[in-house]
Amino acid sequence: MAKAKKITLFRVSVPNKVGQLAAVAELVAGAKVNIKALAATEVGGNAEIRLAVDKSEKAKKALASIGTDVKEEQALRVDLQDKPGSLLKMSRKIASAGVNISWSWATAFGGKTSTCILVTSDNEKAAAAIAAKKKKGAAT
């Protein structure tokens, strides 16, 4: 069964140019913080980098020196079985609870689980929906 864990993401917006990801990674590594998940994309000429880390307070201090706005956002980390339909079941539970998924990414390379990071309109409600057991006779 999937279980949601609350996590903090750091969102850093930097000019989209060579070496920016390395600069962010250097700051985090220098603070002895491990990056557990990362997503980066181009947004309006900037690179937007989202990080999940193992030591949030240390990462926050390290990233403050980057010279740009660093935003924190609450998210959910969900470990799913790495098999067809797992994402479908989880996303249906969240939708049935009336919660919008505003941002997500996932990976499943090797092993028996996949990890999905979700930013939702209501993380508490989404986590409860994910944890809820299927009712007898209910559609998946």
In the chain, what are the domain boundaries?
Answer: 8-74, 75-131
Digits of tens for pLDDT over the chain (140 positions)?
688 999 999 999 999 999 999 999 999 999 999 999 999 999 998 999 999 999 999 999 999 988 778 999 999 999 999 999 999 999 999 999 999 999 999 988 878 899 999 999 999 999 999 999 876 555 55
Q: Domain 75-131 maps to which CATH number in 3.40.50.300, 3.30.70.260, 2.40.40.20, 1.10.10.10?
A: 3.30.70.260
DSSP notation for the chain: --EEEEEEEEEEEEES-TTHHHHHHHHHHHTT--EEEEEEEEETTEEEEEEEES-HHHHHHHHGGGSS-EEEEEEEEEEEESSTTHHHHHHHHHHHTT--EEEEEEE--SSSEEEEEEEES-HHHHHHHHHSPPPTT---
For the domain bounded by 8-74, which CATH number is listed? Answer: 3.30.2130.10
Q: What is the pTM of this model?
A: 0.85
